[in-house]
Amino acid sequence: MIQRRTLVAFAATALLAAAPAFAQFADRTIKFTNGVNEDHPVGVGVKKMQEILAAKTGGKMKINAFWGGSAGNDLQATQALRAGTQEMVCTSSSPLVGIVKELGVFDLPFLFANEKEADAVLDGPAGVYFNKKLEEAGLVNLAYWENGFRNLTNSKRPVAKVEDFEGVKVRVMQNNIFLDTFKTLGTNAVPMAFPEVFTALETKTIDGQENPFVTIETSKFNEVQKYLSVTRHAYTPFLVLYSKKLWDQLSPQEQSVLREAAIEGQKVQRIANRQLNEKSLASLKAKGMVVNDVTPAEQARMFAKVQPVYAKNVPTIGADAVNQVLDALKKARGK
């Protein structure tokens, strides 16, 4: 009996001790939107964020996630953040170029050679530079997650060297840098909304498209595409953004726990994204796609070919932003 009373007293003391710790947090349900489905690696990151918030705030701060663009597209959500009518969005950098022009640097072709380089740039001083630009636009970036490397598929031939791009009709995002890149490489580049792509490939309106392996598999492009070339021609990050207007209304403790949650989410999201990409590549091979790697020498030739894209777009993006990334890359490469 005495032992039981002791345990009850101990539990009560623990609860009283925890109460002041959680008192610094308000009850908040944070609306979080994005364009991918919950089974995407972003879902793994969000789940980790939810776990961290539950543990650190005693369940007071919660994330209510909306998947697959069900609450509007990423650009609409980003504008809602700027207006202070929504808390959070996870979006790739590409749709934000109209808001923060400096983010166009991540659309430049053949910028990163691998994920390690991308991590070093985004998690270092260059990442801080872009965060400041985002804050000036009314957006707080809590962490850089991963969208990943994009690769080319088509129904005509393997693309192993620069000359193989010639004459292939490729769908690209409605983005000027991607359009310039594929035109410069020699393709007939066609800007097209993503929902139209499968039908356009199926009817041979276009020959090919470019996306990360996971997107290629989940969109079933292997059913209408024979060749997959591992070009790794562009790497785009995801950004976990919070409304600056609403952020400024949070306590320092609330801000701190949200940043911690996003960083912990980043760790598991990046791992999950890379594992799933490898799994998707193996699956696409098993489903009959003819896969070819592009050698470093040929990738260097492709990079040389697209230098006019840099010359044309760097003034628009801003030389300072581009140099931030290039300097960080030099350090990451030990040069």
Digitized pLDDT (tens) for each residue of the chain, 335 residues in all: 545 555 555 555 544 444 557 888 999 999 999 988 888 899 999 999 999 999 999 999 999 999 988 888 888 999 999 999 999 999 999 889 999 999 999 999 999 999 999 999 999 999 999 999 999 999 999 999 999 999 999 999 999 999 999 999 999 988 899 999 999 999 999 999 888 999 999 999 999 999 999 889 988 999 999 999 999 999 999 999 999 999 999 999 999 999 999 999 999 999 999 999 999 999 999 999 999 999 999 999 999 999 999 999 999 999 999 999 999 999 999 97
What span, in angstroms and rounded, lies between the C-alpha atoms of 24 and 206? 56
Give the pLDDT confidence score for residue 20 in this predicted structure: 57
Domains belonging to the chain, first-starting first, are: 27-332 (3.40.190.170)
- Angle at CA of residue 219, ends 216 and 224, nearest 5°: 80
Among 84, 96, 135, 93, which Cα is nearest to 112's?
A: 93
Angle, helices 115-122/319-332, rounded to nearest 10 degrees: 120
Give the pLDDT confidence score for residue 156 in this predicted structure: 97
Report the relative pairing of strands 61-66 and 28-34 from DSSP bridges. Answer: parallel
pTM tops 0.95: no
Which alpha helices (H) appear in 170-318, and where do they start and end?
Answer: 176-184, 197-202, 213-218, 244-247, 252-286, 296-305, 307-317
